[in-house]
Amino acid sequence: MGFEIEIDPIDFVTIGTVGPKGRRLFYLQAGGQGQLISLILEKEQARAIGETLRDMLDELSRNMVDLSSDMPDMARMNMELRDPIEGRFRISRIGLGYNDERDLVLLVAEELIVVQEGQDPDRISPSVVRLWGTRTQMRALSLYALDVVKQGRANPAHNGRVLNYWT
């Protein structure tokens, strides 16, 4: 059975990696209210979080003129992963929302479930994590996630595979 964790509000949120280039493991990590949660995600999910948050926050800024700026001072933000880094689950789906009454962004992550032979998929419920953060925290996450994704191989075509050409 899956669990549900809600951190409302978060003290920090970040995306980071562990391991050498080409074998990096990506983590979404957040903390608040005495909790620290680390979730495993794919590089493309990290990119999607960065791009989608950026687009959502840009849209909010354009449409809600009474909102203050959400641009973070990245030099003053600690975006490093915190120890211990223990992935609670691998993320399958990610959702984003915004509560205008509270002026908070919601990031929801759902666990990837792999159904084993003989298991009833209708009896398995994924774990869910809900993270509530400020627009500034989520803007920082967006900027940092896109930067972390770029730190991979200089040439993405060299994806760790050995290619043999036969002539």
First to last CA, the chain: 54
CA dist 86 and 88 (Å) reads: 6
Query: Model confidence over 47-89: pLDDT tens digits?
Result: 999 999 999 999 999 888 677 888 899 989 999 999 999 999 9
In this prediction the pTM is 0.87
Q: What is the pLDDT of residue 82?
A: 97
Class of domain 4-114+122-150: alpha beta
Q: What is the pLDDT of residue 160?
A: 45
Q: Say what the alpha-carbon torsion angle 86, 90, 94, 98 is, to the nearest 10 degrees.
A: -20
